[in-house]
Amino acid sequence: MTPNSRSEITSATRIVVKVGSSSISGENAEQIGPLVDALAAAHARGAEIVLVSSGAIATAIPFLNLDGRPTDLATQQAAAAVGQNVLMWRYQTSLDRYGVLAGQVLLTAGDLENATPRSNAQRAMDRLLALRILPIVNENDTVATHEIRFGDNDRLAALVSELIGADLLVLLSDVDALYTKPPHLDGARRIEHVPYGDPLAGVEIGAAGRAGVGTGGAETKVSAARIAAEAGAAVLITATQLVTEALSGDDIGTWFDAAPERHTSGSDIPLA
């Protein structure tokens, strides 16, 4: 059931949660534990949970003795291969406390753009959820190219929400909500509610997040929220540290209403 407000979040059946690189890598790697606590609590009440997690490349940086996020494609691909392994180990180790099994799903833009791989991905995700597995989704950076990719995992999360018919998408980052202007500026006010189709006129949407680690920001989250809302999912944007409150229906973050009618095909949603 698509929730009409935060107070109905606990009744959502199928939920996609997206977390960014800066929230679960480097000095913030310890946030994986509390994140898993919140996901496991929702899983325990019967919800089907999908986690879209960035962080493979960022997680690999210290293991490869890099000074920062690599800029050349080959090193990005190598870092993704190393970091994805470590990241999945960290998630599964934390999920073991609850007896929940994770399943890794790596997607490329082509997988969701073309009918056959898209259908295969949808079928696999539905089966994982039916088996009470918690899918952990990321872009397949080891084989992705600069020319053909999602661009950021906010967009990937929105397209996954559309793919599986999610009721709710929760976009987590370093900032607790969207604001009328960048939150560090005087006069910035939290945007509590965005009705479906609201153009957010007069709102200054800018980038956010820890520089040099992630690729998304407020602008990508608004774009992703619109895609998911159009597909029939309500959307909540808030901070990773508030994920427990978010999945409990507390009055936090920025809420986007879903479209009155659910969009199901996804074939006309651009990937870039």
User: Which parts are annotated binding residues?
Assistant: 18, 54, 141, 153, 173-174
Query: Are 256 and 235 a contacting pair, CB within 8 Å?
Result: yes
Q: Which two tokens stand for residue 269?
A: 């949603």
Phi, psi (deg, nearest 5) at residue 6: -60, -35
Report the binding-site residues for ATP.
18, 173-174
Q: Which residues are annotated as a binding site for substrate?
A: 54, 141, 153
Provide the 10 A C-beta neighbour count for residue 198.
Answer: 14
Q: Is the dihedral of CA 131, 101, 149, 235 positive or negative?
A: positive
CB-side neighbour CA atoms (13 Å) of 16: 32
Please give the biggest Cα pair distance in the chain.
Answer: 50
What is the DSSP-derived secondary structure letter of residue 55? Answer: -
Helices (H), 65-204: 73-95, 109-113, 115-130, 153-164
Please tell me the distance from the alpha carbon of residue 53 to that of residue 156, in angstroms, as a whole number: 10
| Assigned token pair, 43 | 């899983």
User: Within the chain, how many helices (H) and strands (E) appear?
Assistant: 9, 8
